[in-house]
Amino acid sequence: MTEHTLTVAGVAVDTRHWIGGERVASAETFTDVSPIDGSVLGEISRGTAAEADLAVAAAKAAFPAWATTSRAERARILHAVADGVEKRIEDLAIVETTDNGALLRSHRRGVMPRVAHNFRFFADRLLNLDHEDFETRGHTNHVSWDPAGPSVLITPWNAPLMLSTWKVAPALAAGNTVVLKPAEWTPLTASLLADIAAEAGLPAGVLNIVQGYGSEIGDALTSHPDVRRISFTGSVPTAQRITQSAAANLTPLSLELGGKSPLLVFADADLDLAAGLAVEQYDNAGQVCLAATRILVEETVAEEFTRRFVEKAAAIVQGDPRDEATDIGPNIHERQLEKIDGFVRRAVEAGARAVIGGHRGEGRYYAPTLLTDVAQDSEIVQEEVFGPVLTLQTFTTEDEAVQLANDTRFGLAATLATGDRDRAARVTQRLVAGTVWVNCFFVRDLQAPFGGSRHSGVGREGGTWSFDFYCDLKNTVTAPKGWNNHG
């Protein structure tokens, strides 16, 4: 091991940036800590504007060759990256669990296989990316997707590698070069991705990874005049800063932001199913942007629903995420834990009642919490907590349910439990959300558009929508006459 390498459960991870196909160290570092037990994992290179400039320059230099690489060759390399991910699923899983506290079993069985699938899906979609030519007064229109240029991708800590590759894969498939900045609380699997990509034959400079704080390196990336696309997943305040930073260069943005999503439970629903869906919202210790944290239940079944919910929630096992029996691990950081606890304490002081939970556990664990007696205009109902905290309110009519569901500044997702197909059709049409689940939760397909409305985001990614964002769409109109040759 070298001074720039740390070891996590026997897995070596380089702590330096990855720029232009080489490891680059910074003069300063920041400390990476595991949320499981507070142990120090290591010191990570702390990038500044200097590293941002280096990374963008490397991406710019690599862009012409990568943009003109054939679709087939780009797809082949992305499949090779997926192969590399699959060979290292165990390494990636244990490193990410240690770094962000999410369940090891989920990383092994779902998250890391999804990382590989991200690359395979967009590689295959690239090969089938097409729009049928069409005629205008005898002239032929041909639509093409041209690579846009260097792209800055800024990703969060709650699903670090999966959400990074959800952006990296389509950007690379589109022919863009990339500068990825992972969240400073969870930088490790991004470093492993650099190794995997290099081994897969991705040319130097096509993928660059820089680590550090948003205030020190993020602004330099998002304001850089050579950046052609910015994709960000995270908080509304950070998105507002990025938008201002990008404005001078009119850099196109894709923003997937927070949520305060509702779960509507009607009296005609399967209440056991509905209660199970509600308990699912504690997944990843509530650190899921799509989580339906506002449970809205028809008044006539509220008591029975609550009974079933409490019964199911009692079976949740909270503990070490490396244990196969654990259902909920720790929250990511002491700062986040204090934020969660502050939300709950203020809600209780304002009159809310904790049906379950409402308090911290040992270390960085927060007890799964359900609060009732909350006002619609209260902080706990209107603001994103990003922890294992749900609220429960009741409604008496369908109109009231929809009104309550839409009455926040967010619009990322919504979940609906009902046994009436006609009601499902009526209500989903009226809900303000980028994704609506009916009698299910968290079923996601990469073919579908993904994003939010209102303060939950700008734009959509997924399927062809990703290529629409990462490319400059061109329409070429050709006249039927004027040719010297007739072949």
pLDDT digits (tens, 9 = 90+) for 307-336: 999 999 999 999 999 999 999 999 999 999
Summarize the confidence of residues 426-441 as an average pLDDT.
97
- 305's CB contacts (< 8 A; 6+ apart) are 265, 271, 274, 275, 297
What whole-number distance in Å separates Cα of residue 18 and Cα of residue 188? Answer: 12
Work out the pLDDT band at 122, boundaries 50, 70, 90: very high
What's the CA dihedral at 457, 461, 466, 471 to 10 degrees? -10
Active site residues: 256, 289
Summarize the confidence of residues 340-362 as an average pLDDT.
97
Summarize the confidence of residues 190-208 as an average pLDDT.
98
CA 196 from centroid of its chain's CA atoms: 21
- Candidates 381, 306, 376; CA nearest to 343 is 381
pLDDT digits (tens, 9 = 90+) for 379-426: 999 999 999 999 999 999 999 999 999 999 999 999 999 999 999 999
pLDDT of residue 481: 87
What whole-number distance in Å separates Cα of residue 476 and Cα of residue 379? Answer: 52
pLDDT of residue 143: 95
| Overall pTM > 0.85 | yes
List the domains of the chain with CATH numbers: 5-257+454-475 (3.40.605.10), 262-438 (3.40.309.10)
Work out the pLDDT band at 486, boundaries 50, 70, 90: low
pLDDT of residue 483: 85
pLDDT digits (tens, 9 = 90+) for 146-159: 999 999 999 999 99
Judge contact between 7 and 192, C-beta under 8 A. no
Judge contact between 313 and 370, C-beta under 8 A. yes
pLDDT of residue 90: 97
How much is the mean pLDDT over the chain? 96
pLDDT higher than threshold 90 for residue 224: yes
pLDDT higher than threshold 70 for residue 1: no
pLDDT of residue 487: 52
What whole-number distance in Å separates Cα of residue 434 and Cα of residue 320? Answer: 33
pLDDT digits (tens, 9 = 90+) for 254-312: 999 999 999 999 999 999 999 999 999 999 999 999 999 999 999 999 999 999 999 99
CA 274 from centroid of its chain's CA atoms: 25
Which residue is listed with tokens 């260069």?
249
Judge contact between 405 and 376, C-beta under 8 A. no
Q: Angle formed by the axes of helices 112-127 and 89-100, to 10°?
A: 120
pLDDT of residue 210: 98
Question: Residue 24 to residues 199, 210, 323, 349: CA-CA distances in angstroms?
Answer: 18, 9, 36, 50
Summarize the confidence of residues 349-371 as an average pLDDT.
96
Give the chain's radius of gyration (CA, Å). Answer: 24
pLDDT higher than threshold 90 for residue 484: no
Work out the pLDDT band at 482, boundaries 50, 70, 90: confident
Which residue is listed with tokens 């997702």?
413
